[in-house]
Chain A
Amino acid sequence: QKEVEQDPGPLSVPEGAIVSLNCTYSNSAFQYFMWYRQYSRKGPELLMYTYSSGNKEDGRFTAQVDKSSKYISLFIRDSQPSDSATYLCAMSAGAGGTSYGKLTFGQGTILTVHP
């Protein structure tokens, strides 16, 4: 079983839709949670960064973390064609031990927003 599971999709929605992307994880040591966006043949771009449980909003993006359920989500409101990309969740246990600095990624969800 992978430490981080992410539905690869693909997910296709019309412009203006609300998009929900999700990841589950098994390692209870994870404390830091991130969402990255990756366009084709580019490096991942950091969208959201959260610590522990709770919600964080940035413009059209909202990240939610539920550590009790080991479940994180990213919501995109008023989706645009320019949001079409692969979305990667990533997690880290922090600075301690052999996992120092290590981000563990899901396999990514391919999102297409059509006009």
Chain B
Amino acid sequence: DAGVTQSPTHLIKTRGQHVTLRCSPISGHKSVSWYQQVLGQGPQFIFQYYEKEERGRGNFPDRFSARQFPNYSSELNVNALLLGDSALYLCASSWSGGYNEQFFGPGTRLTVL
């Protein structure tokens, strides 16, 4: 079975631009979570979606938004990019929102110049 997939693998943007990152969960999983991992640090929680509804939100500005589609895939959008948004963005899949065994994808590496 395929694991969590994310696209693109990496991308380069300039300050002020907008970016959309995509994630497909493991088949049968209904929840997707997004994390930001800065080099040398552990992942930081951004959002969790379950059954297309936002169920949890981390301490990130409103420039960050997400949504989940009927097929349970998800998008993370970041507006007005800042240099500090450069990081590895990770998507994690779980069977349900409250079930905490989360399986991560390979991530999207975002570089903001």
Q: Which residues of chain A are near B103, meaning CB under 8 Å?
A: 46
User: When the two chains form the complex, which single residue of A43, A94, A105, A108 contacts B105, counting CB atoms closer than 8 Å?
Assistant: A43
Q: Are B100 and A32 in contact (CB under 8 A)?
A: yes
Segment touching B, from A54-62, A67-75, A76-84, A96-104: A96-104
Q: Are B104 and A101 in contact (CB under 8 A)?
A: no
Q: Are B42 and A107 in contact (CB under 8 A)?
A: yes
Chain A residue nearest to B99 (CB atoms) is A95
Chain A residue nearest to B9 (CB atoms) is A41
Chain A residue nearest to B45 (CB atoms) is A102
Q: Are A103 and B56 in contact (CB under 8 A)?
A: no
How many A residues touch the partner, as a band? 20 to 34
Q: Which residues of chain A are near B41, meaning CB under 8 Å?
A: 107-108
Per the CB 8 Å criterion, the residue count for chain B at the interface is 31
Q: Are A104 and B45 in contact (CB under 8 A)?
A: yes
CB distance from B1 to the nearest CB of A (A): 15
CB distance from B33 to the nearest CB of A (A): 6
Interface flag for A24 (CB, 8 Å): no
Interface flag for A45 (CB, 8 Å): yes
CB distance from B108 to the nearest CB of A (A): 10
Q: Which residues of chain B are near A106, meaning CB under 8 Å?
A: 42
What 0/1 readout, one digit per residue, does chain B (42-69) give for beta carbons within 8 Å of chain A? 1111001010000111100000000000
Q: Are B58 and A102 in contact (CB under 8 A)?
A: yes
Interface flag for B73 (CB, 8 Å): no
Chain A residue nearest to B106 (CB atoms) is A43
Q: Are A46 and B98 in contact (CB under 8 A)?
A: no
CB distance from A64 to the nearest CB of B (A): 18
Q: Which residues of B contact A (CB under 8 A)?
A: 4, 31, 33, 35, 40-45, 48, 50, 55-58, 90, 92, 94, 97-107, 109
Q: List 27 A-B contacts (CB under 8 A).
A: A4-B42, A32-B100, A36-B104, A42-B106, A42-B107, A43-B105, A44-B90, A45-B104, A46-B104, A49-B101, A92-B100, A94-B100, A100-B48, A100-B97, A101-B31, A101-B56, A101-B98, A102-B56, A102-B58, A103-B33, A103-B43, A103-B45, A104-B45, A106-B42, A107-B40, A107-B42, A108-B40
